[in-house]
Amino acid sequence: MSHHIIEASEVSYFYPDGTQALAGVSFRITHGEAVAIVGENGAGKSTLLLLLSGCALPSSGRLQIGDYLATAATLSHIRRTVGMIFQDSDDQLFMPSVEEDVAFGPMKMGLPEADVAKRVEMALTAVGAQHLRSRPPYRLSSGEKRAVAIATVLAMSPNILALDEPTASLDPKRRRSLIELMRSFTHTKVIATHDLDMALALCPRTILLHGGRVIADGLTTAIFNNAALMAQSGMNMEPIPSR
């Protein structure tokens, strides 16, 4: 199932002002994996997700997303393969109603009206938001907006989900609900986060970034229990008790 695989080889990225955000990043994520991307602010997490979702192209190196090598010619294919959930849900919700927001992507794909309706129903059901379908997005709570933003992506039927700080700004109840929702997805998942407890709950594997480089890639429990490594990356976490 190559369409579920991500492979980066010596990927670097420079912003237009010359700032280097990623420096020679390499890793391989296979079908069905749930991988946390962890690091302090400025480590390159969000930039990496932008590359994985086809919002930008590497400055150098090789990036394979599913069946496609990331190039200007393949960006539209990559954007259908990877569903990106941004940190700020307001960046994804802009239509008058929730139903119209969720339908927007499938409509742009040129699907028949009946198929669009089926996808809207499937996506809203998956996130438990059927009761919100007629509501204007700006009237929703942060947790409701996050669920609807995920529904807009699910309606596109992506193979891979990329989530940027999905639990940010959520209260404890909404955070728990979102974690359980994400746990139910069988997609390949790449989650950039500062929420180390969530990463531990959802992601058996973690890629640790520092200064735009991968400084560790392995079992989440092993990385989080390495105090020296976590301190080097600017992250801190209490040791995980043995079970």
Going along the chain from its start, the domains and CATH numbers come out as 2-232 (3.40.50.300)
- 164-221 pLDDT, tens per residue? 998 887 888 888 888 988 888 888 999 999 999 999 999 999 999 999 999 999 999 9
| Mean pLDDT of the region 105-109 | 91
Q: Average model confidence (pLDDT) for the chain?
A: 91
Residues contacting 222, CB < 8 A, separation 6+: none
Residues in the chain: 243
E strand or H helix at 81, and its extent? helix 75-81
Residues contacting 38, CB < 8 A, separation 6+: 45, 192, 193, 194, 196, 199, 206, 207, 208, 209, 223, 233, 235
Cα–Cα distance for residue pair 202/191, rounded to 1 Å: 9
Q: State the number of CA atoms in the 13 A half-sphere of 56 facing the CB.
A: 17
Q: Cβ of 41: how many Cβ atoms within 10 Å? A: 8
Q: Which amino acid is at 202?
A: L
- 43-69 pLDDT, tens per residue? 999 999 999 999 999 999 999 998 899
- 179-195 pLDDT, tens per residue? 988 888 888 999 999 99
For the cut 90, the answer to whether the pLDDT of residue 88 exceeds it is: no
Cα–Cα distance for residue pair 58/51, rounded to 1 Å: 7
- 115-158 pLDDT, tens per residue? 999 999 999 998 889 999 999 999 998 889 988 999 999 999 99
